[in-house]
Amino acid sequence: MFKKVYLVLVLAAALACKASPSKPVKVPGSNDLQPDEQQSVVCKQIASMISNYNYKKVDLNDSISEVVFNRYIKLLDENHSYFLASDIKDFDKYKTVLDDDLKAGNLNDAFYIFNVFQKRYIEHVNYSLAQLNKNFDFNKTETFVYDRDKLPWPATQADMDAMWSQRVKYDLLNLKLANSDMAKNKETLKKRYQSLLSQANKLSNQDVFQYFMDAFTEAIDPHTNYFNPSNAANFNIEMSRQLEGIGASLASENEYVTIKTVVPGGPADKSHQINIDDRIVGVAQGKAGEFQNVVGWRIENAIALIRGTKGTVVKLEILAAGAGAGSKPKIVEMVREKIILKDQSAKKEIRTYNSNGKTVKIGVIAIPAFYIDFNDYKAGNPNYKSTTHDVKLILDTLKRENVDGIVIDLRENGGGSLMEAIELTGLFIKTGPVVQVKDTKEQVEVDQDDDPGVAYAGPMGVLVDRFSASASEIFSGAIQDYGRGLILGTQTYGKGSVQSAIDLDRVLGSPIRDKISQLAGGGNKKVSTGSQNTYGQLNLTIAKFYRISGNSTQHKGVSPDISFPSLIPLDKYGEDTEPSAMPFDIIAKTTYTKTGDFTGVLPQLKKLHDQRMSTSDSYKYMLEDIADFKKRDAENSVTLNEGELKKQRDADEKKALERNNLRRVALGLPALKKGQTKPKDEDLDFVKREAGQIMTDYISLEPKLTSVTPQ
C-alpha cells in the first residue's frame, strides 16, 4: 500500500520552477538572511503534497494560517524574552497571509519575522555583554521571573532591558555561588555570551526554512515533518542505527570541530592517528581533493563534509589535542565505512529473583527504537541491521542461558519502522494479524505475521511509559490483544498515525535541480554534502493504524495491565496534549485467535504488586519525586538575593543527597558521601526491578491459576 501511495505522490507532483514572491524587506541589525529559489520550490511542493495527500485533508486557509503564525512565533520566542510587543503587533498583518505564502512558495514574510527575531537576539546578547561592566548588589531582595510564556511581551525597550539585566545578574549569581572571584566569573560569562553571538551569526537560511516548515507541518498534525538535508541525514541514521563515515562523534568547542568519541573498529580507530579532543581544521574529498578549512564552521556543515558513501576517501587535517593553533596539522587519510551504532541498538541483561527459595532468571531486553537499514533491506542483504534481527539473536542467547521469562523494555521508545513492529511481534506468535491500517480512501489493510516460527514461547512482559509511542504501541497493543504477555508501566503516548518518508530528491528531479542552479547563479560549482540529499525529506501522514481489536491507539495509547505512577507528566506530554492531533476512533476488529488470557491471574498479580508497594520505600520515594516535580514545575521565578539563594540551594542539595541515599539503601546499595559519584554501571531503576518481580510472581503461580498456554 505504501509503495503505491509513494508512487502516486511522485507522479502527481505539480512542479513550479519559479515562484513570484513579494519583495523581501531588509532588517538592519540582523544578518538579513534571505530564502533561495530552491527553498521556494520545496515550500510550494510541500504545501501541495500536504494539501492533497495528508491523511487529514486540511485546506490551507486563513484559519490554518493563523495557527502556523502562532506556532512560528512560539518556536522563535516561546518565553517572550526577545520580541517586543510592538514587534508582535507589526507581525499581525501576516496572520492570514501565510497560507497564501506557502502555496506560492513565498518565504519573504517568514524570513522577515525571523530577521526581526535575530536582530532582537543580537541586541539583547550585546546588551548583556555591556551589563558585565556593572557592579551588581546581590544583597537586595529581588526576584527574576525566568518562565515568561504566560506573561505579555515587554511593552518597551526599558522593560526588555530590565528583564535582561536581571537575567545577567542571575547568571552571575549562579557563578558566584560556586566561585567568589567576580572578575573570573565575568570573564566566564563574557565568553559564554560571545559564544551565543557566534552561534547566532552562523545561522543560515536553511535554519530559518526549517523553523518555518516546522511551524507549518505541526499545524497540520504533530507527525507530518519536513527535514532539511542535514536533519534528514540524522533522521535516517536514527532509523537505521547506522551511518557511513569515519566512526567518530564530533562537537564544536571554541570554534573547532573536536573529536569526542571514536567508534571501535571504525576508520578513525583503525587509523591509530586520531584521539579524543583532537581538532579537525580541514577536510578534503578523495586522494587529490583540496582541503576546505572548517575552523569556525557550524558542526552540521562540517559533519556533512566528513560523512559520505562507504568506500570513498576523505582526508582530514588534524590538530592534536593540546597543540597550539599555530602548530602544523597532520593529514590523516581514511576510507569511509558503514558504522553500526551498537550503543543505540537493542541490549540485554539478566536479573535474578528469589521465589520461595527458588532462583528465577528474567531476561530484560531494552529496545531504544524500531530501527531498520532500509538501503540494505531493499538491496536484498539478508543480514540487514534491524530491531527484529538484533532481538532474535538476543533471544537465542537468553534461551541458552535458561531464563525463566523475559521483559521487553520499551520505555522512551518513540517508535520507528512499522514493518519492524510487525516483524518483532512475529517473534512471539505463530501467525496472524498484527495491526490494521486505514488509508486516506478509508480502505483498511490488515498487516500479518506470516512466519509460523516462534523465537520465544515463554512468559513475557512488556514495560512501557508515556514516551513509548507509535511502533511501540503497535507491538505492545498486539501482545496485549493476543494475551501473549503482560503490559506493565504507564499509559503510552497515543500516536496512532502512519508516516511515509519521502525523499524530495525523488520528487524534484534533476531538471528542476539544474533550473534552480541556473536561477541561483550556481553555475557548474559542486558542493560536497557527504551523505546528504539536496532537497530534504518529507515525513507525510498517510494513514492511521488500529489494533487488531479495532481500537485506535490515537490519543488513548495502550493502557497497562498493571500500572505504575508516571514520572512523566501525563498532562504535559502525549498525543492528547497536541492541539492538531487526530481523534480516537474505532473500526471493526479483525479475525484473530488469542494465545492466552490473563484475566484469571491479573487480580492475584495486582494484589502481590500492591502488597509490595505498600511497604516499599522505593515506591514511596518515587511518589515523593512526582510530587516534588509538580511543585517545581509550578514555580516560575527565583530569588536574586545571594544569601537566600545559597540557603535554598544548600537545602536542596542536602535533600537531594539524603533522598538519593535513601533510594540506594532501599535497593540494598551503600550510601554515598557528599561529592562522591556513583559507580558507573550501578542500576537504580526501581521500575525495571519491579517489572521483573511481577514476571517472577506470574512464573511462580500455581498452574491452575495460569490461564495462558504457551504456543
Residues carrying an active site annotation: 470, 481, 495
Where does 571-616 have alpha helices with state H? Answer: 602-614
| H or E segment to which residue 34 belongs | none
Q: Pick from 253, 234, 256: which is nearest to 245 by CA?
A: 234
Residues 6+ apart with CB under 8 A from 628: none
CA distance 474 to 410: 12
Tell me the CA distances in angstroms from 182 to 135, 193, 275, 643, one per residue in order: 10, 16, 35, 16
Are the C-beta atoms of residues 556 and 332 closer than 8 Å to each other? no
CA distance 23 to 384: 50
Can you give the length of the chain in residues? 711
Residue ranges with strand state E in 125-241: 143-145, 225-227
Three-state secondary-structure class, residue 267: helix
Task: Please calculate the CA angle 273-276-280 and round it to the nearest 5 degrees.
Answer: 70
- What does the DSSP assignment read for 615-647? T-HHHHHHHHHHHHHHHHHT--EEE--HHHHHH
Three-state secondary-structure class, residue 702: coil
Return the residue matching grid coordinates 498534525: 221
Task: Please calculate the CA angle 418-420-424 and round it to the nearest 5 degrees.
Answer: 125
β-bridge partners, 489: 464, 563
β-bridge partners, 488: 463, 562
Tell me the CA distances in angstroms from 680 to 11, 224, 260, 664, 677, one per residue in order: 54, 39, 19, 14, 8
Residue 488, phi then psi, degrees to nearest 5:
-125, 145
